[in-house]
Amino acid sequence: MANIRTIIAREFADRKTTKPHVLPLYLTSAFAFDNIDEGIDIFKGVAQGHVYSRYANPTIDTVAAKIAALETQGSDLEASCLLLSSGMAAISTVCLALLKPYDKILTQGNLYGGTTELLSKILKTWGVTPVFTDLQGTDWIENQLKTDPSIRMIYGETPANPSMACIDLEKLGSLGRKYGVTTVIDNTFCTPYLQQPLLYGIDLCLHSTTKYLNGHGNSICGAVIGLDKEKMSKVWEAMKLVGTNSNAFDAWLLNNGLKTLALRMDAHCANTKELAGWLESLPEVEKVNYPGLESHPDHVLAQKQMKKAGGMLSFELRGGLEAGLRFMNRLKLCTLAPTLGDVDTLVLHPASSSHLKVPREVRILNGISDGLIRLSVGIENVDDIKEDLLQAIRG
């Protein structure tokens, strides 16, 4: 019989006798081999198996497989998914894996502020040049792809954060295939429940799963989904070597949130559609950005590639910066928070937060004005949300 110190230090055999109903949480850094030959085969790729949780983990792999299935649901396509430590980790890892010095990335000027900073500050130190433009101008994009072979990636958001401008996924995917350029779309705002970029020919789809996919604001995680095995293998290798992988606990929390995604998105969309029309009727509101409104310039395109118009909107208050700040300070029910996609209504003033470090002239050029307010509309009673917004607008 082993010494008591040995018994204390060793793992006991797993006593599982029947299949668990809920995904288990595998909180282990490494996995044990039955023998050295098994370990060699797994390291060589001859046999399937887990090695180290930075490479892969059963909890993480299970949740990733579910997200991949959601992005291709309704088609015969088979995607794979990687979970990373955050949405920003997903973007940076994709760029690190697929771009090299002297490459250019064609992107839009109305991106999320953090992504703009990543491309402008960090990518430049890798020797990669971001080219900010309007990705809605597909003729201009094609001309650039024809004349500049150093453009190796097109990166976009649709709808964009926070202007809600939409990009034609089918045209973008077609251009990418025609010129051999990788196309990448951030699908965080929509989730695969509302929009599936891979079905329109986009190479890679990204998420900050922290947002709608989780939906409860209790974990940070990111996802990369793609159909091309070679591209996904390169992203996996970069993730493994740089260490931008997710962890089992965040993946487990994400899995719990995913189970109510359809119910939540339906409620988000219904509330947002009603609020958008109501806000548009207020004299204090100069403009409402919501693709579900007929007044939105991309309304027809959104109807084509989105099942519903989503749970995000932005609106322009008359009075500029002062009006925006005053509105934020008067809110009582809605939450001031630099995130989105939770079940409660979250409010952001981009000029003083997410886009604070973006030059003002760049913000204004891309529709992110001083008085712009972004709403991540929650699933509360819509009349309660209206009451809070109205008192904050009128004081």
Q: In the predicted model, what is the mean pLDDT of the chain?
A: 94
Q: For residue range 63-94, what is the model confidence (pLDDT) as tens digits?
A: 999 999 999 999 999 999 999 999 999 999 99
> CATH no. for residue 178?
3.40.640.10
- Say whether both 247 and 266 belong to one domain: no
Q: Is the pLDDT of residue 271 over 90?
A: yes
Residue 17 belongs to a domain: no
Q: Is the pLDDT of residue 355 over 70?
A: no
- Say whether both 180 and 283 belong to one domain: no
- Say whether both 254 and 274 belong to one domain: no
- pLDDT-derived band of residue 364, with 50, 70 and 90 as boundaries? confident
pLDDT score of 137:
85
223-252 burial code (b ≥16 CB/10 A, e <16): bbbbbeeebbebbbebbbeeebbbbbebbb
Mean per-residue pLDDT, 296-311: 98
- Say whether both 132 and 192 belong to one domain: yes
- Say whether both 206 and 277 belong to one domain: no
Which residues form the domain of 322?
A: 261-394
Q: Is the pLDDT of residue 102 over 70?
A: yes
- pLDDT-derived band of residue 368, with 50, 70 and 90 as boundaries? confident
Tally of domains within the chain: 2
From residue 101, alpha-carbon distances to 98, 125, 151, 168, 233 in Å are 11, 9, 11, 29, 20
Residue 387 phi, psi (nearest 5): -60, -40
Give percent of the chain above pLDDT 90. 80
pLDDT score of 111:
85
pLDDT score of 369:
80
- Say whether both 286 and 355 belong to one domain: yes
> CATH no. for residue 294?
3.90.1150.10
Residue 30 belongs to a domain: no
Catalytic residue list: 54, 112, 186, 211
105-138 burial code (b ≥16 CB/10 A, e <16): bbbbbbbbbbbbbbbbeebeeeebbbebeebbee
Mean per-residue pLDDT, 37-44: 87
Q: Is the pLDDT of residue 358 over 80?
A: no
Q: Which of 238, 258, 278 is the last residue of a domain?
A: 258
- pLDDT-derived band of residue 354, with 50, 70 and 90 as boundaries? low
- Say whether both 242 and 359 belong to one domain: no
pLDDT score of 385:
98
Q: For residue range 164-177, what is the model confidence (pLDDT) as tens digits?
A: 999 999 999 999 99
Residue bearing tokens 């649709």: 158
Please state whether the predicted TM-score (pTM) of the whole model is above 0.85: yes
Which residues in 111-267 belong to E strands, given as ranges? Answer: 129-133, 151-157, 182-186, 204-208, 222-226
- Say whether both 182 and 315 belong to one domain: no
Residue 34 belongs to a domain: no
Mean per-residue pLDDT, 230-242: 98
Residue 201 belongs to a domain: yes
Within 13 Å, how many C-alpha atoms sit on residue 267's CB side?
17
- Say whether both 243 and 337 belong to one domain: no
Cα gap 166→302, rounded to integer Å: 7
- Say whether both 166 and 307 belong to one domain: no
In contact, 261 and 213? CB cutoff 8 Å: yes
